[in-house]
Structure 1
């Protein structure tokens, strides 16, 4: 049987030849959609301590516990809070931490919608 031809890594601009379609070892984490970038820090160390938990409760309560994204596959019951303008983008355009975590930049989200929004933002970035 003839050997299968090598393919190029799916990461734009990589160009590394690999045996099977997908990503090379360097870019393999892109296959799952997002990378946990702060695995060595606790939620409090990442800025999600007591003050964030209280803000989260207010946002979920204001939305009556319903997802505000309402994307395909929406579960409707919000258990998470999403930054409308994600933290990385907000910092990039010069927002302060207070502006980033302002209630006007937060929305209640079901897990499915939050995961999809985060995935699409990661793919676009």
Structure 2
């Protein structure tokens, strides 16, 4: 019986030849569906557990569910909560964790404005 021809990895622009249809060893993780952006850490592991969720709800209620950033492409309806002074800057200025997480340093924001603010704080990168 003739050998089966090699397949190309399903990852766009990879081009690796493999024995069976699917992903090459380098892109095998993509075969499992989505991957966590923060490794294997859950939101609770990263400090966003029950207490944070309750604080988040209070901030959204305090700001009446309206985006406080109001950028150019603002959707107005806030679904997320953002640190007014981001964590890295606050720590560099000597803030304590209690000051960083205080509701006075939190604001309701729409996902579009939150993403744009975070991108600008990171220097325009991803």
Q: If the length of structure 1 is used for normalisation, what is the TM-score?
A: 0.68
Structure 2 unaligned blocks of 5 or more: 1-35
Aligned residue for 1:69, secondary structure, equals coil
Structure 1 runs (4+) deviating above 6 angstroms are none
Instruction: Give the TM-score normalised by structure 2.
Output: 0.67
In 2, Cα distance between the equivalents of 1:37 and 1:43? Answer: 11
**Counterpart for residue 67 of structure 2:** 67
1:39: how far off? 2.8
1-structure distance, mates of 2:91, 2:42: 21
Counterpart-to-counterpart distance in 1, 2:95 and 2:57: 23
Q: Which has the higher contact order (CA 8 A, sep 6+)?
A: 1
Superposition pairs for residues 43-82 of structure 1, below 5 Å? Answer: 43-82=43-82
RMSD of aligned C-alpha atoms?
Answer: 1.8
Q: In structure 1, how many angstroms separate the alpha carbons of the residues matched to 2:40 and 2:61?
A: 31
Structure 1 position 91, deviation (Å) = 1.1
Q: Which residue of 2 aligns with 1:94?
A: 94
Match of 2:41 in 1: 41
